[in-house]
Every structure is written in structure tokens, then in C-alpha cells.
Amino acid sequence: MSPDTITVEVIRHGLIASADEMARNLCRTAYNTIVYEIHDYGVGIHDADGNVVADTPGVASFTGANDFGIKRAVEFLGRDTLRDGDAVLLNYPYWSCAHTLDALVFAPIFFDRELIAFASCRVHLLDLNQKDPGYVLDSTDMSQEGIVFPAVRICIGGEPNQDIFNIIRFNSRMPERTIGDVQAQIAACQTGERRVQEIARKYGAQPLRQAMKEINDHGERLALAALARLPKGTWSALDFVDSDGIDVDRMIPLKVTVTITDAKMIVDWTDTREPADGPVNVPRGLTVADTMLAFKALTTPDSPVTAGNFRPLEVLTTPGSLLEAVPPMPTFTLWTGLLIPEVITKALAQGMPDLVPACSGGDVCDIMTLGAQPDSGLRWLEAINDAVGFGAHSEGDGEDGIMHVTEPGCRNSPIEVLETKAPILIDDYGYRADSGGPGRFRGGVGVVRTYQFLAPSTAIVINYKTKTRPWSIGRGLPGESNTVVLHPDTDHQQHVGASYNHFLAGERIRNLTGGGGGWGDPLHRDLKLVMADVSAGFVSVQNAEADYGVAVDPVTLELDERGTRSLRR
Amino acid sequence: MSESAAGALRLAVDVGGTFTDIIVHDASDGSLRFEKVPTTPAQPSVGVLNAFAQAKATAGRAEYFAHGTTLRLNALLARAGARTAVVTTQGFRDVYLLGRTDRVVAYDFRYRKPASLIPRSRTFEIPERLNFKGEVLCAFDREAAQAVARTIDGLGIESVAVCFLHSYVNPVHEVAMAEILAVTAPRAQVTLSHSLTREYREYERTSTAVLDAYIRPLMRGYIGELEDRLAQERFQGRFFMIRSGGGAMTADRARDAPVNLILSGPAGGVLGAASFAKATNEPNLITIDMGGTSLDASLIVGGEPVVQHEASFHGLPMMVASLYINTIGAGGGSLVWIDEGGHLQVGPGSAGAVPGPAAYGKGGSSATVTDAALVCGYLGTETALAGTLMLDDELARSALAPSAQALGMSVDHVAYGVVRIAIAKIVGAVRAITVEMGYRPADFALLAFGGARGLVAAGEFSTMEGEAIEALEADSFPSSRRRFHRLIDLRYQGQEHSVSIPVEARVDAEELERLGVAFHAAHALRYGHALSDPIEVVTVRTRAVGLVERPELPAVTVRSIAQLVPTTRRSVYQEDGSRTEYAVYHRDSFCFEDRIVGPAVVNEHTSTTILHEGDFAVVGRLGELRVDVFGG
């Protein structure tokens, strides 16, 4: 007898709790802060075919990518070769759907000698001998991006495979922490394995299998119900990747055509044909995963992630192109993927301007700083992602200063912690006034942070979408773009995007992050909202007049009603 | 304070959103009395005195009065606290409003943060700057500070939170700001961040100070009002408030740092559980406290509650010692609904106290977990909840009927499903806290308290060998002896997470070596591994504790006459669709070592316990029910 829908929900809660337990165990045992502070991970429980049935919030695009990785690895290894107690390590970018450092570990789960499910865990590892420490911005093929594990058994029958651990040990600049994190991934998968086996013991393997099928069927029904409510049609949009990392002046087009029918959403990337010379290419699996992020947000944002949610989604890419990298194309800088969700919403905005928000600041705005401590000579490295503004929408303003749509769980770094750990002084950190796109609803403002180096240091700016502005909807206006200023407020200040930069003690760098695009005509914005923005300092007196047609006394900050009437006429 | 004469009373009062509970321990006969009166939201001190009266507790006889409250939390939730301002370092006015810039919801591109406690127009900057060593890089600008203080005074601000960068190392500028505010903005109360916590992380420290400032005028007003009323009633004992981190603080201390009262209500239950853990030789307990809208789960390890220093209240961080409590949105009032995919869902929405579950008959028409429990027969219509509230089975059934129709199932079966789904969520929350702290759930017994508790306890926790037993309220706290607990937070160099280790007053070479060993072991338990990296000190903490004489908990009587007989019988829904007769007992009739064999329902004033076929319970020395779950 197949389980009724109530039992399916009870089993679902058990599976979600299992994934949650995996993530807590991972955070508890991982060695690197990027996992347990920034939550840069993807954890899931999958059915016997690799389709996710439960996950936990981490990096939003990872869980879909885990499905893809498991399926490719099982195909490569052969399903029949998997044994109870095995764990598989995969970081071959074209299969694992991320760069080499975002390594996937997964474990087949057996019950009564039968493969019933998979547990997966992906984290950002610290070092696998990629060409540069920390990050790679300018590789030209895969061989420069670190050591590759093409679905190898890191555990065999429950025992660690020391040969593989030794390969990592001799091929990492930080072997102890890298191995520690891989062990944490394995432990997380084993937690998932035990919990799923307990559920199978309680309900039986066959009912559990049927429940997992129903979880995905149910996820599909939810998505179809949401699709049915959406406007139907075909829309295209274009945005640009700043550069390929090699030729920094050449922008790379990213074009999408989205079609919505009663039963499907087709996202066609085949107009994005050319590959890039530098590492901004992305494997197809990541293109699909980032497309899924947009689809999920559009259709079923409030229900748990299941593979079934995405059955009505079709993603088209061209092999060998920017969005379907093939060996040995360089893929290390995954930043192209950050643009994907919002190029899709840009297309959708033409057909459903009331249902999607305008563009956000559009990037995770990361500056990685490194150097040697002046007193001890010890190497230090700090990476700080900064928040952007969200796009405005038909019902309200975009949020001010919030992490990009692709990294919901990520957090900024405390200034007091940073200054204690690194020879850096933060001069200021706060909202970036006037950066939100004006509109009847205003785009959220970005932030500004100024670093002063107290010793010679390097700053790797991993900051894209600096050359196109966050797009708006209707008569709304675009937000300000991301930009990074070297030596701000001096006569040799310079605006840059992704780049390596070297500094002496006393020199500065300023990170200004993008604001969201506006929605609707700013001249129709409620006067009270404009005045509140002026009084809070999100909009300057000058911009209130120029963009919103609202005259404000620059001293008292009071509304000039007559001036406003004539401006808004 | 008078001598602890025979006949003295110890009182504990908890003011909740709906009810004010009182427990009275009378030293003259060793008895415990429990009473419940309605909370009086407009003037809660009236309800407290009503509770005294209801329990026949003469204030003049009271030696100790311990007080916990969740009441002022509503002010936080409704953003109805004091008109508050933030004063901070120039260049950093937005640290508080930006927070950590993260969010829990993953797929909402329109996400807005919850409303801030203060608008940006009430954030002020002063030119001043320290580095991480506490050295002054930029002197405190007194003139600018005076100008800000004048503005604050002019705006009629009631409360000010001051947090400068690195003030945890050197508070000199915060102190200077307080002096200026005292003179120039005398109507405003002031909270200095370093006085609450001496730890780094500027957003969390600012948030702690803002929470304190935001509730300070309200809490001070309330404590003063209560003291006045107690004085009128000739109260001469000592008055303590339960603090979030466990233990109690004098009313004077509470006035100086009200942020320590934010989790006062839930902490009281967990503290009671800890003393119960000692009294019953169950050193490791999982506690669950299920109310109308949410469930709090916590841990007792080795007889002590688990304390953390990075708690938060509805997303607002507070860096003060707080008991480790995991709250999930699953309570008796959690709403039942059918999603677009045709599946039954429970919560996270709640019917709240008003209108509450449909069965309350207060106008609610949406089905809730309480309605489902009534239809299953776990709750009855024959006994009043909390003294006065009668449940209506017909209203519960009609509320569940649309869901039953949508699913093509009987109302009974849907009701049973609602309970199963609610339990599945709760089990997940309980597993989460034990796993996160590095423990195995199987090493713990289960202690359930709160209204809806017994329903879940006996249902699903068989894997954890759960034992559902009655909680005790926190007792009174005299101060006769003092102890100091010294803790040192250590971490591996360059890591973020630290571990607290108890440390001796004198740190010599031997102690250092012991600390190293203890740290590696504690890190391995908490994080699953130890490293060979150098260890560094993050924070040193001292906790001064006044030890109290705890009264002996009264033992329940031994049965001398008559058998234990059920008060009635009730038909309870079973998984296979049948109904079985359950014997219904009233807990007040239990004596020491009584055995209650399932199927049975145990009713009491505030709670219900279900024993299915194969389960049985034994009444312990203190009246606790020790349940063995075999069925399920």
C-alpha cells in the first residue's frame, strides 16, 4: 500500500530534519570559516535517481547542482559499482557544476542491500593547488585551476580511502584544513545516511521510495499551479559580463529568451554562443541551477525545494559556449552565474512588470585582501562580501543593503573582528545614498565601505556588473552600478572592476555596491515616502528635486509645496 | 530582611501574555500551591497582586519573591518600546540598521527585513575612534557630542544606546558620552554597550544596547510600580527577577540592565527543569515547552542548563548570557491548511490567543493543532483547560471538515494526521539542538512542560526513551553565600568559533597546560575535531552567583487507601481508523509509585498526557510521571 499524503508529509519532515542535521553537523565539524560563518555550502537528500527531495538553505544554487553532479558521477562509475558505505568526491567542474574548490561529496544510501537514496554535501574547500592562493581570476584552461577528482571513492565500504586523502595532502597549500573539511563533508553524508535508513526502517523501503516520488510529484503540482497563473508569452533580454578576466575591456553578452506556456517555462540561452578566453565560462549544470533559482523565486518561493519543482523548466544551452563549458575551458570565476537569475527576470519583466522586481545591485561585491602581518610576518587573508540594494517592485521599495539574491545565508564581516585579525582600518561603512534607482517604488540602496591598509597588502577585487546599470521597470530609473575606487579622494583615484591591486601602508580602497532599479514613474512616488527618504538620508535634496520632482529646503529639510507642484506638473 | 521564620513563604510568579501563574512554597507545612489568574495587560502589577490573593499568599509573610515575565516582549514585537536613539562612531551610523545583511528566506527577491526598532534619523555619529587595542586614534569630540545631546533632548528621545567601535577594550569614550548626556539630555535614559558586554562584534553589541534601551523605561516603570504595590502590602522579603541566562537578579540590577530579562519567561521553565534534573537524578534532559503559538526546546547537561552568549530575540541579537533555547513555530494554535499540491500542512501561521483554536468558541473558524487533538480524543470536552476554558468538539470538527473533504479522508483521520505532522516538526527541532551541541538525543531523557506538552511527548519520542514528567517552577532566591565562576573563551588562532572553559582564579603554568588539554577536548566534542594550531584567548568571563538555600520539594503522598480509579473514559482515534476506550485520570489523584497503564489519558490543570497501548507511567517521589513508551 502506498503511503497516504499525510504520511508523505510526515516523511518529508523527517527528510528535511535529516538534511538540517547534516548541515548542523557540517557547520559543527568544518575547519574553514567560509563554511560555518558564511554558510557557503549545499546539503541535500536525493532519491535513488539523484533527484533532491529535501535540502537546507545555504548557497541557493548548490542543491540543484548537486543533483546534476550525482547523476553524472553515477553514470560515469556505473550504478552497479556503488556499495554500502561508499562516499564519492567530485570536483571535475563540467560534472560537478561549480569550480574545482566547490567540491561535492555524496554517499549512496542502502537499505536491505538496495540503493534507496543519496546524501550530498558541497562546500568551498580552501586550497587544491589552483594557480593562485585564494581565488583565480585569469586562468585560460582547466589545468591551472587545481587538482581534479573525477568521481573518486573517498570512502570504500565505510573506510576512508587513504590514497585519495594522501593526494589531497600533497596537493594543497593548506592540507590540514582542506582534509578536515572533506572529512566534515563525509561525516555530514553519513549523518544523512543514518537518518534516511531510520526512516526506511520505520516506514519500509518501498513506502519511503513512493513517498519520495510523491514529494517530487507534489512539488511539480505546486509549480504547475503557479505557472498557470502567470502571463504566457516569449520575451528576451540582454546583459553583459564585465569582461572575461583576460581582456578587461571587452564585455561579454549574455542573452536569454524565456517562454512561458501553460505547462512549461523554457529558458533558452542558445543565443549566448561564444566561449570566453578567461574563467567566466560556466558548466551547464550551474547554468541550470542558477536558472532554477529564478524559476523557484517566480513560482514556489515559500515551499521546500524538491526536484519536482523544476520539471516544468526546460533550459537550452549550446555545448562549448559561455554557459555550457566543455573541457578544457576555464571556469574558475563563477560570477557569470550570478547574472543568470536577473537576466531571466529582466526578460520576464517585459511580460509581467507587476510580478517581478527590477534588478538588484547584481553582484556579491567581494574584496579579498591579503598580506603579511607587520609584526609576526604571518600571512593573513580576509574575504568580505558586501550587500547591495534589491530591485523595487509593484508593491514596494527594494530592501536597502542586503546580500545578493544568490547568497541568502551569507553575512558581512564584523569590523571589530576584521581589524583585530588583519592590519586594516575601516574608515566608514554605511548606506550609499542616492544609489537606489528612482521610481514610484525606489530601488534599495547599496553600501559603501572604505578600507585603509596599515601595512603593504594586496586586494583582489572580485566585483562584476560594474559596467552596466541595474535595470528598472516601467518609467523607473536604473540604480547606480557597483564600482571600486582605488585611492579615493586623492588626485590619482581610479575606478576599477575585477582586478588585482597592491597597496602601501596608509593607502585606501573603497567598495561602492550597486543599488536596485526603480519601479514606475518617480514623479508619482508618494510625497511622504520621498520626504521620509530625504529625512533618513537615502535620497539627497538634489536628487529629490531632479528625480522625484520634490522641492525640499536644504536647511530645514521641509517640503516646499509650491516648488513641488510646479516640478511635478 | 527578617529572619527566615517558620511560616515564611517563597513565591514565584510568571506573567505571561494570557495568564499570570503563581507558585507558593509554604515553609510551615512544606506545601506547594499553584494558582493562575488572568494577566492584566494595562497594569500587570495588578495581576501579580491578584495572584497573591488567589493563592492566599500574604505578602507580609513572603521571604522571597522570584519573578519572570514575557510581558514586555510584546512591546518589542509590536515595536512599541521607548523612543530610542543610537550614538556611535563617526562613519558608522548604519552599522545597526544594516545588521549582518543576511536573511533566512532564500527565494524571495522582494524580501524586506523586519521593521527596525529605530529609524535612521535617530542614529547619530560622534568623531572619535579607537583601534582594536583600545588606543585612541581620534580623540572624543566633546563639542560634537554636546551638539548631538542637544538634538536628542530636543527630539524628546526617552532612551539612548551608546556603542562606539572597540569600546569593549576601552570604554573611555562611552563613559564621556554618558556624562554629556546626563547633563545636556537629562530626560533620556542611557545604555552603554560596554556595560552589558565586553565582546567584539559591533553590530551585535549595538543591538544588545538598543534592546536594553528600548525596553528600559517600560521595565523600570513596571518594576517600580510593582515595588510600590508590594510595599503597600507590607512585603519585606527580597525581590528577584529571573534572568535570561539562568539564575535571578535583584530588582535593582534588573533596572540597570533590563536586556537580561528578555528571555526571562522561558528561562524560568528551563531553570525549574535543571533543579528537577538534580532532584531526580536525571542529569541530562531535553526540555520542551509548548504553548499556543510556538515551542521552546532546550537542554540540561549534567544538571545544568546550557548557556550561550550569542542569543537573539526574533532576529535581534543580544550578547548577554542566555539559556540555549530553540524556538519553532509549532504550538496548539498552529493553523491547519491544504496547499495547492493537495497536501495537508500545519503552521507556521497561528490562530494566536485571539480568536484562538476553533474549539475555544471565541469566533475562530480555522482549524488548529488543538482542534485536531480534541477530535482525536487527546483533549476532552469534560474538563476545563486552565480552570475555565471548555472546548467544543463540534466547532473543532466543522473547522477540520473542509480539509477532510479536500483530502477525501474522514475528519478523524485528518485530525490524527495534523498531530502526526506537528510531532514530526517538533522531533526535528529537538534533534537539531542536541546535534548542534555535539550530543546524541539518546543520551537524554525528555522533560515536557507547557500546556500542549504531553500530547507530543508520549507520541513519538520512543527512540529517545522519553520520560514525560511534570516541571517545577523556579524557586525563590535568597542570597546567603557567594561563588565566582570564571570562564575563559579559547579558540584556535584565526578561527571564529570559541569554546568556554572554566578556569581557576590563579592561572599558572600548570593551569595553562590543563586549559590546553580541556580546550582540545571541548573543541572535539563541540566541533568534532581538534587542531594542532596555536590557541588564543578571546574573552574572559566572571559570573558572581549568590547561592540560595533551596527548600525541599514536597514529596507526593503514599497511597494508603483505595485503588487509583479513572474519572471517566474517552474514545481515542487510532492510526488504523478505529477508536479505543482510554481511561481518563486526574493527575491530582496520583500517589507515589502509582502505575498508570495505557491506553490512558492523564488530565491536569495545565496539561494532558496520552499513554497509548503498551505505554505505562509510574509516579515518582516528587509527583513526576516517568513514562515508558513501548507502542507508538
CB contact under 8 Å between B131 and A419, yes or no, is yes
Averaged in consecutive runs of 10 residues, what is the pLDDT profile of chain B (632 residues)? 57 81 84 81 86 89 85 72 96 97 85 92 97 96 98 97 96 98 97 91 96 93 91 89 83 86 84 82 83 80 83 87 82 91 91 83 90 92 70 95 95 95 87 72 59 37 28 37 64 70 70 81 74 72 57 76 86 92 90 90 83 90 84 44
pLDDT score at B435: 73
| pLDDT for position B511 | 74
Element (H, E) at B617: strand B616-619
Q: Which residues contact A165 (CB under 8 A, 6 or more apart)?
A: A154, A179, A182
Q: Does A35 touch chain B (CB under 8 A)?
A: no
Give the position of cell 518600546.
Answer: B81
pLDDT tens digit sequence for B34-87: 888 888 878 888 989 999 998 888 888 988 888 887 766 667 777 788 999 999
Phi/psi-derived region of residue A28, left when phi > 0, alpha when psi is between -120 and 50, beta in every other case: alpha
What is the per-residue pLDDT for A72? Answer: 96
Q: Which chain B residues contact residue A13 at CB under 8 A?
A: 421, 424-425, 428
B496 contacts chain A (CB < 8 A): yes
Are B301 and B439 in contact, with CB atoms under 8 Å apart?
Answer: yes
Beta-sheet strands, E only, within A203-345: 233-241, 252-260, 265-268, 313-316
Task: Report the residue from B91, B102, B421 with minimal CB separation from A6.
Answer: B421
Q: Are A399 and A444 in contact (CB under 8 A)?
A: yes
Asked if the C-beta of B103 comes within 8 angstroms of chain A's C-beta atoms, the answer is yes
B531 in contact with chain A, both atoms CB, cutoff 8 A: yes
Give the pLDDT of chain A (569 residues) as one tens digit per residue.
578 999 999 999 999 999 988 988 887 777 776 676 666 788 999 999 999 999 886 666 676 789 999 999 999 999 999 999 999 999 999 999 989 999 999 999 999 999 999 999 999 898 999 998 878 888 999 999 999 999 999 999 999 999 999 999 999 988 888 998 999 999 899 999 999 999 999 999 999 999 999 999 999 999 999 999 999 999 999 999 999 888 888 999 999 999 999 999 999 999 998 899 999 999 999 999 999 999 999 999 989 999 999 999 999 999 999 999 999 999 998 889 999 999 999 999 999 999 999 999 999 999 989 899 898 888 888 888 999 999 999 999 999 999 999 888 788 889 998 998 899 999 999 999 999 999 999 999 999 999 999 999 999 998 999 999 999 999 999 999 999 999 999 999 999 998 889 999 999 999 999 999 999 999 999 999 999 999 999 999 999 999 999 999 999 999 999 999 999 98
CB B227 within 8 A of CB B251: yes
> Hey, what's the torsion of the CAs at B377, B381, B385, B388, to 10 degrees?
180
Which of A6, A28, A410 is opposite residue B527, by nearest beta carbon?
Answer: A28
Residue B105 near chain A (CB below 8 Å): yes
DSSP 8-class letter at B509: H
Q: Which of residues 37-66 of A touch B (CB under 8 A)?
A: 37, 57, 60
Q: How many DSSP H helices and E strands does chain B contain?
A: 14, 33
* CA distances (Å), origin B374, targets B371, B394, B631: 5, 10, 21
Q: Nearest C-alpha of chain B: how many angstroms from A292?
A: 10
pLDDT of residue B445: 65
Given this model, what pLDDT does residue B449 score?
A: 55
Closest to B296 measured CA to CA, from B335, B269, B333: B269
Q: Rg for chain B (alpha carbons), in Å?
A: 26
Whether A377 and chain B come into contact, CB under 8 Å, resolves to no
Nearest CB partner across the interface for B436, out of A28, A300, A402: A28
**If you count them, how many residues does chain A have?**
569
Contacts of A391 in chain B (CB under 8 A): 109
pLDDT at A564: 95
CB A41 within 8 A of CB A29: no
Q: Which residues contact B80 (CB under 8 A, 6 or more apart)?
A: B74
Cα–Cα distance measured from residue B325 to residue B68, given in angstroms and rounded to the nearest whole number = 16
> So what's the pLDDT on residue B542?
60
Q: Which residues pair with B577 in a beta bridge?
A: none
Find residue A366's DSSP bridge partners. A385, A462
Contact (CB, 8 A) for A60 and A52: no
Interface of A with B in 199-258 (CB under 8 A): 218-219, 221-222, 225-226
Q: Is A314 on the interface with B (CB under 8 A)?
A: no
Return the C-alpha cell found at B291: 504553548
Chain B (384-443) residues lying within 8 Å, Cβ to Cβ, of chain A: 407, 409, 413-414, 416-417, 420-421, 424-425, 427-428, 431-432, 435-436, 438
pLDDT at A552: 97
- Is A57:B108 a contact under the CB 8 Å cutoff? no
How far apart CA B402 and CA A407 sit, in angstroms, is 39
Closest CA to B194 of B171, B161, B210: B171
What is the per-residue pLDDT for B196? 92
Spatial separation of the C-alpha atoms in residues A177 and A183, rounded to whole Å: 10
B108-142 as b/e, with b when 16 or more CB fall inside 10 Å?
A: bbbbebeeebbebebbbbbebbbbbeeeeeeebbe
Label each residue of A496-513 as H, E or C. ECCEEEEECCCCEEEEEC
User: Which contiguous run of DSSP H or E holds residue A319?
Assistant: none
Which residue from A minimizes the CA distance to B106? Answer: A408
